[in-house]
Amino acid sequence: MKQSPKPRYLLDINIVLDYLQQREPWYPLAKGLFLAESQEKVDLFIATNTIATLHFFIRKKDSKKKTLAKIEILLRRLRLADVTGAVVSRALQMGLEDLEDGIQAGAALESRIPVLVTRNTKDFGHLEGLQILLPEVALAALNLRHPIGSG
């Protein structure tokens, strides 16, 4: 029997920061997503522009050396969804309140990642071709027989 491809999720920056900074009460859910990735249940992505933003926020609390180490570890675990001119153009046309959210969604759509995981689902509204899921819903979906976000 042919195995179906793993689900593909793009993580919004809030989920990544919850994990890296162990922010409560959200850390357990973020940790669960990273655990699912390490168990090869899901492919996790971040948009390339997320790296600079992560550096900015992590550096506020950690040394330069620790910050870079965290980002390097993250980059070994996660895949990147490129932010191109096409992504930015798409983001500008979405009409979302926050351009950064549009870039996240555009990166997912351009990279054919069907699910964006965020705690701020209302910020994204309804975007055709992209499911916007809370982390608890995304985690629950990984335990289903036909997970959300798989091909």
* Whole-prediction pTM: 0.89
Q: What gap in Å lies between CA 109 and CA 151, rounded to an integer? A: 14
In a domain, 92, yes or no: yes
- Give the helix/strand (H/E) hosting 47: strand 43-47
In a domain, 83, yes or no: yes
In a domain, 11, yes or no: no
Q: What gap in Å lies between CA 131 and CA 140, rounded to an integer? A: 14
Q: What gap in Å lies between CA 107 and CA 42, rounded to an integer? A: 18
The domain in which residue 97 lies consists of 27-142
Mean pLDDT of the 29-34 span: 95
- Number of domains into which the chain is organized: 1
The pairing of strands 79-81 and 115-117 is unpaired
Mean per-residue pLDDT over the chain, rounded: 91
In a domain, 86, yes or no: yes
In a domain, 1, yes or no: no
List, for residues 88-118, the tens digit of each pLDDT value: 999 999 988 999 999 999 999 999 999 999 9
**Which tokens is 67 given?**
């910050």
| CATH number of the CATH domain containing 103 | 3.40.50.1010
